[in-house]
Structure 1
Amino acid sequence: MAEHLVELNVTGMHCNNCAMSIHKLLEKKGLQNVLVSFASEEVKFSNESQLALPQIIKDIESLGFKVVDEEDQQPAPFFAKIENKFAFCTLFTAPLLLHMVLPWHFLHNPIFQLILCLPVFVIGCLHFGKSAYSSLKNGVPNMDVLIFIGSTSAFVYSLVGTVQNLGEHYLFYETSATIITLVLLGNVLEKRSVNQTTSAVRDLIKFQQVNANRVVESGVEVVNAKDVLSGDILLVNEGDQVPVDGDVLSGDALVNEAMITGESLPVPKTKYDKVIGGTILQQGNIRIMATKVGSNSTLSQIIDLMKKAQAAKPPVQKLGDKVASIFVPVVILIALTTFVITYFATDAGLQRSMMNAIAVLVISCPCAMGLATPTAVMVGLGRAAKNGILIKGGDTIEAVANTRYVIFDKTGTLTTGKFSIHHIKPEEGFTIEQIRGVIMAIEERSNHPIAKSMVNELLQLPQQKLILRAVTEEKGLGMRAEDVDGNRYFLGTAKHKTEDNFYLTLYRNQVRMAQIAVDDTIKPDAASLIAQLKKDGITPVLLSGDKKSRCLAVAKTLNIDEVHFEMLPDDKLQVVDMYRKKGKTIMIGDGINDAPALTQADVGVSMNDASHIAIQSAKVILLNTDLQSVVKFLQISRHTLLTIKQNLFWAFAYNIIAIPVAALGFLNPMVGAFAMAFSDVIVIGNSLRLKVKKVN
C-alpha cells in the first residue's frame, strides 16, 4: 500500500513528555515514521494502514492537546501560553513564600494562604492534571503524574490542617504552589531552549517567505514566492533574494549561495545557468524561468531533510526513552515506600513522612533524560547545516562515530573535474614555446571546459605569440584554424589514445607538431584530508571506474595505499560490502554513478552541488565542494555524540543521587522542584554549547 504522509499542527504540548506521550500513542496505533516536535508544534507520521484520520485526531485530543488547522489558526487564548501561566502563578506564589521571611501576621493566616494558593493549584490541576490523567488512561504514565500527585498531596494535607485548625505545622500551601510554579518555569525554559536548538530550520524557513516579481502582459506583478508556478517568468534585481529555483533566461549576475552551499565567494550566473531559491543576487539583474517550486524546491527539500533528521532517533536515545517509560511507576513506588518507612519505622510523624515522599515525587524528573539526545542532535545538525553539510538523520551521527574506512570516488571527489596540461611532447623541429603559442591562440576561441582550463594555465607560461585569421570548431573532433601566413592548424582528439592519458594532437599543414596529455587536477585540500584521516586512525580507500594508471597516479600523490580501479557500479557495491564486513565504512562520491555504493555504505556522503540536493542515496550531502567539510562533518558528528553521552550521564547521575537524598529527608519539595528545573536547563545548556565550541 502506498505510504501516506500526514502532517498535523498540535497545540498544548509544553515539554518533551507531552511529545513523548503523543509519540507512544501513535506508535501503539501502528503508525510509521512518527515525528513529534513540541517546540514547532508539529506531529508527522506515515499512515500506511490507512487508519481513519478523524479517529487519530480524536485520540490525540483525548490526551489533552488540540489539533488545529494552520490556515485558520486563531490567536491562542491567554492561559494557553505557558509563559502566561507561569507569570500568573508567580504573582500568587511570591507572597506565599514571603511568610517564611516576614513576620507580618496576615501572611501566616491559613485562610489567606489558602486564597493565595487556590488559583495556582487550579492552574496546576488543569495544566498537569489533564496531561497526567490522559497519560494514565493510555497506559503511558508521564512526568506530569508525579508533579500532580506531589502538588495535590501538599495542598490536600494543608487543606485538612486548615479545616481542622491543626496549627501552622500542617500548612504547606507554599510547597504546593512553589512546585507548580517552578515546574512551569522549567517548561518555559525548556521551550525557549528547544526553540533555540531548532533555529537552523526556522532560519531556512524565513528564506522561503519572500516576494517575487512575476512578468505578466501588463508589466510586472509582485506575488508571494509560494504562489509562483513552474514556468513563470520572474525578474530578479540586484539585492533581491532569488524567490524559487529556476533557469536564467537573460542577464548576468553574481549570486551569493553561501546560505545553501556554505561557499563564501559569489558565483557568476548567465544564460542557461541554474539559480537556487533563497540565494541572494549581489550584483546585476536577471530574468529567470521558475523550474522547481513549492515542496520540490531545493530549500524545501533541505528543510524537509533537516526536520526528518532531527526526528530520526539514534540508538542512544532509544535507551533514554526506555528508561523514561518505566521510570514513573518506579518513582511512585519509591515515594510510597519512603512514606511507609519514614512513618512506621521512625518517629518522624505524618508531616515529615509526607514531605519526604512528596520530595521524591517532585525531584525525580526524567525530562532531562528525554531532552538529552534530541537537543544535542538538533544543535549538531544545525551547526553542520551552517557549514554546508546536510545530515539526514540523527542516527547517521552515531554511525559515523567509530568509522574505520573512508572510500573515495576519484573524479569530482578527490579531483576537481577541471583539466590541466599534464605534459606536452613536441615533435622534432618544433619548440615548446611555439606549441604553447599555437594552443593558446586556438583554445582562446573555444568554449569547451578543457579549452578554458588550458588557456588559464598557459597564460602564466612563456610562449611564442601567433596571430590567427580564422578559427572554426568541429563538434566532437576539435578546432581548425588558419594564421595570417596561410598555415592551417588542427587541434583535436588523438586517433590512438594511449593507456595512460587522454591525448590531444596538434597538426600544422597535416604534419604533427605535438602530443598533449591532459589530466584532471587533484583538489588542493585532498592531501591534507587524507593525512588527517590517517592521523585519526581511519584508512582511506580509492575506488574508481577510471584507468589503472590514473588511479595509481592519484593514489601515489595523495599517499593512499588501498586502490580499486576500472570499477563498474556493480563492482563498487562489492568493494563497499567487503570493507563493511571489516568495520564501519563511509563512502564519498559524486552521487550519480556512485548511488548504489552510497546506499550500501554505513554512511553515504554525496559531494554535490545544491541542484542535486535530492539525491536520495546519500545520508550526508556536502553542499560545498571543499573537502575540508568531510573533516568538519566527522568532527561535528563526534562532538554531537559526545554531548549526548554527557547529557545522558548528567540526567542519570542526577536522578541516582537526587532520589535517595530526597527519600532520606534531606531535601524539601520546593528545593526538589527547583533542582528538577535546573537539571533540564543544564542538559539543554550543554547541548547549546555545541553551537560554539571548538570541534577539532
Structure 2
Amino acid sequence: LKDGKETEIPIEEIEVGDILIVKPGMKIPVDGKIIEGKTKIDESMITGESVYAKKTAGDEVIGATVNQTGLIKMTTEKVGKDTLLFQIIDFVKEAQSKKAAKQQLADKVSNYFVPIVIIVALGAFLYWFFIGGLGLETSLLVFTSVVVIACPCALGLAIPTAVMVGTGKGAEIGILVKGGDSLEAINNVNNIVFDKTGTLTIGKPKVSVIVTEKELKKVGFTEKEILHFAGSAELGSEHTIAKAIIEEANQKMIDLNEPKEFNAVPGKGIETTIDNLKVLIGNEKLILDNKIGLGLFENKFKELQNSGITTILLSVDSKIRGIIGISDKIKDQALYALNELREMGIQLYMLTGDNRQTALSIGKELDFEENHIYAEVLPNDKAKTVKSTQELNESNIVAMVGDGINDA
C-alpha cells in the first residue's frame, strides 16, 4: 500500500516499514505487525498447533503462515535473512554442519589414517617399480589398489553424509534436529516424558457431560445458561477445551456474547465479565484461589474426575453454577507405541495439566506407573518437571515428546 493505492510488487522488493494488505487465504509474505483488522492465522508450520491463532491490531505475524479469515493490513518489520523462516532454514543448515561425537572421532582417526595409507601406497609403488621391476603401469596399479582398498575418504565422509541426509529428511516432515550431536544422543535416551493432550490423545476434546445447578438444587442455572456463560467466556481463548465448549454451544444454537475484561490465568482458566456478571471458568485451583466453595457440586466433581473426565467449573456472580465434563479420546496407536518403547527398556512418563484423578485414570489406560504420572503441571513448569526427571538418576538421558510450542 503506497500513497493510499494498492499495488502488487515482488516479495524481493518489500522493505522494512512497508504497509502490506493480506487477504484471506493468502500467505503472510514477511514478518511484521498487524496495524488494522483482525483475523485467524494458521501457524501450524511454525508452532505445530492445529488451532488457528487469533490476531488483531498490534499482534505480530510470521512470514509464510496463512491468513485464514480476515482482511488485515500489516507493517513490515523483518525481511530476507532476518525473518523467522530464514532463521529456521539457517538452523537446519547449521545442524547439518554440526559434528557428532563419532564424526569427531572419525576425523581424528582420518588425520593419521590418510597419511599412513598414502605412505604405504607410495612405498608399494617404489618397491615394485625400482626393486620388483614391474614397470610404471603395473606399479601405478599397485599404488592405486592400495589407496582404493584402504578407502581413507569413506571414514571421513560416511558420518557427515548420514547426518546431512537424516536432518534433511527430518526437516521435510517437520522435525528439526539441532545437529549430528543431537541425532546421536537420541540413541542413548533411556527416559521419555510424554505430554498428554494432542500427543497421547487426539487433541480434539468434546463436551461429554454437563452438571447443572438446577439438576442438583432444583432451582438455578440450566444447561442453556451454563453453555451461554461458558461459551461466551471461552470466545477469548484459543485453547482446545475452549473450542469444545464453543462448539457445543453453537450446536445447541445458543447465543454467545463477547467477553469483557478478559484475563487468561495460565494453567487455571479464565476470569472475565459476561452480561455485567463476573465469570470464572477453569479448574479447581482457579475457583479455590477466588475463595469459592464447591458446595453440592463436590461429590459430582470428584466422581467425574475419578472417571477420567476433565472437569471444568463455572462460577457466575461468585457461585458455582455448573460443571462441564470434557473428554479427549486416546489415540488408537498410542498404547502400541508406548509398549514398543517399554520393550526397548525405556522408562516412560506422562505429563499433563489435568487434575491428579483424571491423569491417573488416563495413565492407567496407557499402563503408566502411578509415580510416572505428572499431573496439574502448569505450562511454564514443564521444563522444571523434565529437569527433575533428569535429576532422579545420574544415568538418566531424558527426551520430551509434545505437540505444542510450550512443549518445545
TM-score of the superposed pair, with normalisation by structure 1? 0.43
> Deviation at 1:517?
4.0
Work out whether 1:271 is the aligned partner of 2:81: no
RMSD of aligned residue pairs (Cα, Å): 4.4
Q: Which amino acid aligns with 1:496?
A: G
Work out whether 1:439 is the aligned partner of 2:226: yes
**What is the SS of the residue equivalent to 1:541?**
strand
Work out whether 1:312 is the aligned partner of 2:122: no
Larger radius of gyration: 1
**What is the SS of the residue equivalent to 1:217?**
coil
Give the equivalent residue in structure 2 for 1:172.
Answer: none
Correspondence 1:413-424 to 2 at 5 A: 416=203, 420=207, 423-424=210-211
> Residues of 2 paired with 1:413 and 1:233: CA distance?
39
**What is the SS of the residue equivalent to 2:73?**
strand
TM-score of the superposed pair, with normalisation by structure 2? 0.69
Is 1:405–1:586's contact at 8 Å kept on the other side of the alignment?
yes
Give the equivalent residue in structure 2 for 1:228.
Answer: 15
**What is the SS of the residue equivalent to 1:219?**
coil
- The partner residue of 2:159 within 359, 370, 373 is 373
Is 2:25–2:68's contact at 8 Å kept on the other side of the alignment?
yes
> Residues of 2 paired with 1:410 and 1:296: CA distance?
35
Give the equivalent residue in structure 2 for 1:454.
Answer: 245
> Residues of 1 paired with 2:24 and 2:382: CA distance?
44
Is 2:206–2:328's contact at 8 Å kept on the other side of the alignment?
no
**What is the SS of the residue equivalent to 2:368?**
coil
Give the equivalent residue in structure 2 for 1:479.
Answer: 274
**What is the SS of the residue equivalent to 1:289?**
strand
Query: Structure 1: which 5+ residue stretches go unaligned?
Result: 1-214, 482-488, 590-606, 613-617, 622-696
Work out whether 1:576 is the aligned partner of 2:367: no
Correspondence 1:422-433 to 2 at 5 A: 423-425=210-212, 426-429=215-218
> Residues of 2 paired with 1:369 and 1:513: CA distance?
69
Query: Using a 3 Å threshold, how does the CA distance of structure 1 residues 408 and 245 change in structure 2: closer, same or farther?
Result: same
Is 2:38–2:71's contact at 8 Å kept on the other side of the alignment?
yes
Is 1:241–1:279's contact at 8 Å kept on the other side of the alignment?
yes
Give the equivalent residue in structure 1 for 2:367.
Answer: 559
Give the equivalent residue in structure 2 for 1:401.
Answer: 187
Query: Structure 2: which 5+ residue stretches go unaligned?
Result: 263-270, 282-286, 306-310
Q: Which amino acid aligns with 1:503?
A: L
Work out whether 1:535 is the aligned partner of 2:369: no
Q: Which amino acid aligns with 2:122?
A: L
Superposed CA offset, 1:302-328 (max 9, x none):
022112211111122223322322233
Identity %: 32
Query: Using a 3 Å threshold, how does the CA distance of structure 1 residues 502 and 288 change in structure 2: closer, same or farther?
Result: same
Superposed CA offset, 1:537-565 (max 9, x none):
33320245664334323423443222234
Work out whether 1:548 is the aligned partner of 2:388: no
Give the equivalent residue in structure 2 for 1:585.
Answer: 398
> Residues of 2 paired with 1:466 and 1:218: CA distance?
42
**What is the SS of the residue equivalent to 1:408?**
strand
**What is the SS of the residue equivalent to 1:388?**
coil
Is 1:442–1:471's contact at 8 Å kept on the other side of the alignment?
no
> Residues of 1 paired with 2:255 and 2:10: CA distance?
53
Is 1:226–1:293's contact at 8 Å kept on the other side of the alignment?
no
> Residues of 2 paired with 1:275 and 1:578: CA distance?
38
**What is the SS of the residue equivalent to 1:540?**
strand
Give the equivalent residue in structure 2 for 1:289.
Answer: 75
> Deviation at 1:299?
0.5
**What is the SS of the residue equivalent to 2:28?**
coil
Is 2:314–2:320's contact at 8 Å kept on the other side of the alignment?
no
> Deviation at 1:234?
1.4
Is 1:259–1:386's contact at 8 Å kept on the other side of the alignment?
no
Correspondence 1:69-84 to 2 at 5 A: none
Query: Using a 3 Å threshold, how does the CA distance of structure 1 residues 408 and 226 change in structure 2: closer, same or farther?
Result: farther
**What is the SS of the residue equivalent to 1:389?**
coil
